[in-house]
Amino acid sequence: MKEILKGHIIHAPALGELNIMENGYMVLEDGVIAGIYDQLPAEHRDGVLHDYGDKLIMQSFADMHLHAPQYPMLGMGMDLPLLDWLSTYTFPTEARFADTAYAREIYARLAHELITNGTTRVCMFSSLHTDATLVLMEELEKAGVTGYVGKVNMDRNGAEGILQETTAESVAETERWLAACHFKDLKPILTPRFTPSCTNELMAELGKLKEKHGLYVQSHLSESHAEIAWVRELHPDCERYWETYDKYGLWDDHTVMAHCVHSDAVERRAMAEHNVLAVHCGDSNINISSGICPVRQLLNEGVWVALGSDIAGGAQLPMYRVITTTIRSSKVRQIMDNWQTPFLTVPEGYYLGTTAGHKYFGAGDGFSKGDALHAIVLDDSTFPAPARPLTVNERFERAIYLMEQRNIAAVWSTGRCVVSR
């Protein structure tokens, strides 16, 4: 089926680069981008036209780190440091997901909020509950959200009797979950919660599962000073945090590591050399007072960086808000660095919240020919009236800062229009 989207087409093919085609045409063949044109070629005029008029056709968002079972506790415990926050709020909340009926109610709401806010791809933590994780994947697929979901592994330092597995249970339940993952657009990803939550024996078994099934891995890295000190106590043989994953075969191409706030030069080099994705979670890092990640330094050193909402450490699920928080936190970092570090611009923040994450799933640079379409259509007509006519570039910048859910007129995921208002 041939379809044509007409409007102001905006995408970020590279960091800091913004391509704008005013009143352009995007041609889809069976949901796959066949080309972008300023004038519609004659051979494509037989397609179904979606005329979005003066609206902005932008890339959808990729949330590369979030905790689905923490959705009910958004905005809670923001005055606590990381480790206290986990024990006081997070573990008791996640324990509720032993109830699959409760899980379905919460996850249906989460999936709806994600897709209607323009997030079409995710790399997501579930809880340690196998059946609830499968429910999560079902609800995401129904809504049109695609990506990777992980059943959490944790056999120590959880909430004993409430939220903790034995090593044998963790391995067996992970195998059961993997055997039941038969989804079209959602794939499993191994998810050791973080090093303090997993014994050496469990990490070794997860390394074997990774090798056996050819899986990617997601976890946390160097989020806070207290966490790093704890990891050193648990692994005195490892000089740095990243080595606790590497020694079990869990540090590899496409490994996803959230935070990386306090990664030193050696750890950053290990990320760059192994093509590890560092997910910056600016809202969470500020809320839990973990620190301000040196994102510019990571980028300059060749580290692959994308963005995550990290709910519920982050209190904002919409990725357009995560992008603006990322830009603001980079300005705080500039001040911390005595004005020596350039802050992230709006096009750079947009790239990190879109293209950088989409590439994890094999997508090209921006709206690339041959990619299934992931896009939002933005109606900015309800924004405050400007004092003068704005360029499309100015409207784009304004949209990043001012958009709300109600401004997203349509969402396209894997070449299908899944939201239309």
d(CA 98, CA 94): 8
Judge if 218 and 262 occupy the same domain.
yes
What CATH number corresponds to the domain at position 212? 3.20.20.140
Judge if 97 and 228 occupy the same domain.
yes
* pLDDT computed for residue 228 by the predictor: 97
Tokens 């030193």 found at: 264
Residue 358 inside a domain? The answer is: no
* pLDDT computed for residue 87 by the predictor: 87
Q: Enter the tokens of residue 202.
A: 């469990």
Tokens 């109600």 found at: 406
Judge if 103 and 114 occupy the same domain.
yes
Residue 203 inside a domain? The answer is: yes
Which 3 state secondary structure label does DSSP give 203?
helix
Could you list the pLDDT tens digit for every one of the 421 residues in the chain?
999 999 999 999 999 999 999 999 999 999 999 999 999 999 999 999 999 999 999 999 999 999 999 999 999 999 988 788 888 999 999 999 999 999 999 999 999 999 999 999 999 999 999 999 999 999 999 999 999 999 999 999 988 788 889 999 999 999 999 999 999 999 999 999 999 999 999 999 999 999 999 999 999 999 999 999 999 999 999 999 999 999 999 999 999 999 999 999 999 999 999 999 999 999 999 998 999 999 999 999 999 999 999 999 999 999 999 999 999 999 999 999 999 999 999 999 999 999 999 999 999 999 999 999 999 999 999 999 999 999 999 999 999 999 999 999 999 999 999 999 9
Question: In sequence order, which residues have a C-beta less than 8 Å from that of residue 83 and are 6 or more positions away?
Answer: 224, 226, 227, 230
Contact yes or no for 126/68 (Cβ under 8 A): yes
* pLDDT computed for residue 188 by the predictor: 98
Judge if 187 and 257 occupy the same domain.
yes
Domain boundaries, position 377: 2-59+365-420
What CATH number corresponds to the domain at position 26? 2.30.40.10
d(CA 154, CA 228): 18
Judge if 132 and 160 occupy the same domain.
yes
* pLDDT computed for residue 133 by the predictor: 98
Total structural domains within the chain: 2
* pLDDT computed for residue 82 by the predictor: 79
**What's the DSSP call for residue 140?**
H
Judge if 347 and 381 occupy the same domain.
no
Judge if 288 and 248 occupy the same domain.
yes
Residue 360 inside a domain? The answer is: no
* pLDDT computed for residue 163 by the predictor: 87
3-state percent helix, strand, coil for the chain, nearest multiple of 5: 40, 25, 35
Dihedral, 98, 104, 110, 113 alpha carbons, nearest 10: -170
For residue 232, the one-letter residue type is R
- Answer yes or no: pTM beyond 0.85: yes
Which of 298, 323, 353 finishes a domain? 353
